[in-house]
Amino acid sequence: MPSLKNSVVVITGSSRGFGYAMAVEFLNAGARVVLSSRDADAVKLAVASLPNPTNTLGMVCDVRDLAQVRALADTATSKFGSIDVWINNAGNSPGWGRMANIDPEKWHASFETNLFGTYHGCLAALEKMLPHKSGLIINVLGAGANKPAPNQSAYGTSKTAIARLTETLAIEYTGDGIVVNAVMPGMIWTDMLTGAEGVDEPRMRARFEWAMRVFGNPPYVPAKFVLQMAERRTGSGKTFSVLTPAMFVPRMIGEIFGAGKKNPRPWLNE
């Protein structure tokens, strides 16, 4: 298993939540990490609170803008010399609800961040990695990537497109030393999920929170999984899932015996 010590890792959407958790894991593994977010204050706070800020670079970047993403790549290579791993994590959801009930502008905005942001990240990463014939790109998927996701039409459809993009790039760059994979992190207890818009009706909310208990995890769980992906670099064009039957079946059994009543919202304890 290759060491990540001194590797340069760029993570989009990493000032909080899952992205921040990945930054912590990679730093603890000895990597140098480049964080980014649209919010300048959030970037400063994230960098200051990381375990090894001297090995960290924080930069404002809106992934919807290719020029800003290329600037992120340029700055990373200027400071650290290269980019070894690029993780397209920045994501956006317009909320839950049937498609006709979702604001069209929010629907479009979700695609701009999720799909085009990932495309911009892949392009910027490839431009830096191809001359060295080495690099790993990891695209973050989600609900809808492998089957329909009712009430998440924008988010799910954009993640489906990212899955196909991942597979396509893996084929296009076979033999160029570039590995392109995707990760299905499962439901993560972050603000985007726990504060999801449109999950207000009591029965829907109850089902939603049941799913979060059974299929959800705090950010550090999928973050550690992604670190292992980067260490192993198994194949290219593959999608790796954090959630397995070994993880969720015992939880489902626990729900039958009242675990949800004893601890209905475990994410509040994280």
Rounded to 5 degrees, what are φ and ψ at 225? -65, -45
Q: How far apart are CA 255 and CA 206, in angstroms?
A: 13
Helix/strand/coil for 136: strand
Among 20, 155, 173, 220, which one carries the catalytic annotation?
Answer: 155
**Residue that the structure tokens 């994410």 belong to:** 267
- Give the dihedral sign, CA 79/80/86/89: negative
Active site residue 155: yes
Count CA atoms closer than 13 A to 177's CA, side-chain side.
13
Q: Check if the beta carbon of residue 211 is closer than 8 Å to that of residue 248.
A: no
Output DSSP code: residue 13.
Answer: S
Output DSSP code: residue 267.
Answer: G
Residue 37, H or E segment:
strand 32-37
Helix/strand/coil for 12: coil
Point out the residues that are catalytic.
155
